[in-house]
């Protein structure tokens, strides 16, 4: 079974621009969560989508948004990029079972110049 | 909200010796505690997990223990090998419907040949 895939793997943007990252979950998984990983703040939860609906949201500004499509693929968007948005953005998918297991993709490394 | 503390931040052990990483959590409602291993340039990989109705779980050289009363859980790696060198993260999650993971700050484990 293929794992979680994320595209692109690397991205360089400048301040003020916006960016869209994509995540394809494991086949059959309907839940997709996004996390931001930085050296200073560690791994922080951004939001979770389940069946095209945002179910949980972390403490990030409104510049961070996401959506999920009917095939469970998810995108996250960051508008008006700031230098502090430079991070590894990780996507995790979870099955419908009440098992909580979340499987992560390789991440997208975003650098904001 | 949930807060997870992890110690130590770095750990070096001789190959063949055991390694122990400890975490504490704050929210007694948390019921799922996974451990992830992250190698350079990769996303976190789930290596073992434990639920609040179990006190200990073992998978070959890896074991996790949970003390609900004290709200702490630990990862034990026995007979360490060079390929165990990585950053390890503990996490905690609430029950179904709010499964966002709250991560510890990570432990960089180095196995000395």
Per-residue DSSP letters for A8-65?
Answer: -SEEEE-TT--EEEEEEPPTT--EEEEEEEETTTEEEEEEEEETTEEEEE-S--TTEE
Model confidence pLDDT, tens digit, residues B98-110? 678 999 999 999 9
pLDDT band at A96 (very low <50, low <70, confident <90, very high): confident
Q: Which chain B positions have a beta carbon within 8 Å of A42's beta carbon? A: 103-106
Distance between CA atoms of B33 and A53, rounded to whole angstroms? 25
pLDDT band at A98 (very low <50, low <70, confident <90, very high): low
Name which of B46, B33, B34, B32 is nearest B86 in CA terms: B46
Mean pLDDT of B8-16: 98
Give the pLDDT score at B97.
65
Q: Is the minimum CB–CB distance between B49 and chain A shorter than 8 Å? A: yes
Q: To the nearest whole angstrom, how far is the Cα of B46 from the nearest Cα of chain A? A: 7
Q: How far is CA A13 from the centre of its chain?
A: 17
Model confidence pLDDT, tens digit, residues A63-92? 999 999 999 999 999 999 999 999 999 999
Q: Which chain A positions have a beta carbon within 8 Å of B100's beta carbon? A: 33, 45, 48, 56, 58
Q: CB contacts < 8 Å between A and B, how many?
A: 57
Longest dimension (CA), chain A: 41
Distance between CA atoms of B33 and B30, rounded to whole angstroms? 8
Q: Which two tokens stand for residue B42?
A: 């990769």
């Amino acid at each position: 079974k293929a794992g979680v895939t994320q595209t692109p793997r690397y991205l360089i943007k400048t301040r003020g621009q916006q960016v869209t990252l994509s995540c394809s979950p494991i086949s059959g998984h309907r839940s997709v969560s996004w996390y931001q990983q930085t050296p200073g703040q560690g791994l922080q939860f951004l939001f979770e989508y389940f069946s095209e609906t945002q179910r949980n949201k972390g403490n990030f500004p409104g510049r961070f948004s996401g959506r999920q499509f009917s095939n469970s693929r998810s995108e996250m968007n960051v508008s008006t990029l700031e230098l502090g948005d430079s991070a590894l953005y990780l996507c995790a998918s979870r099955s419908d079972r009440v098992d909580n297991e979340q499987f992560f993709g390789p991440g997208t490394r975003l650098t904001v110049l | 909200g949930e807060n997870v503390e992890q110690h130590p931040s770095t750990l070096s052990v001789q190959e063949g010796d055991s390694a122990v990483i400890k975490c504490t959590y704050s929210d007694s409602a948390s019921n799922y505690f996974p451990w992830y291993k992250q190698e350079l340039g990769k996303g976190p990989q789930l290596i073992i997990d434990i639920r609040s109705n179990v006190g200990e779980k073992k998978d070959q050289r890896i074991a996790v223990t949970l003390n609900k009363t004290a709200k702490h859980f630990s990862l034990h790696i026995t007979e360490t090998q060079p390929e165990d060198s990585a950053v390890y993260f503990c996490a905690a999650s609430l029950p179904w419907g709010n499964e966002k993971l709250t991560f510890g700050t990570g432990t960089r484990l180095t196995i000395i040949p």
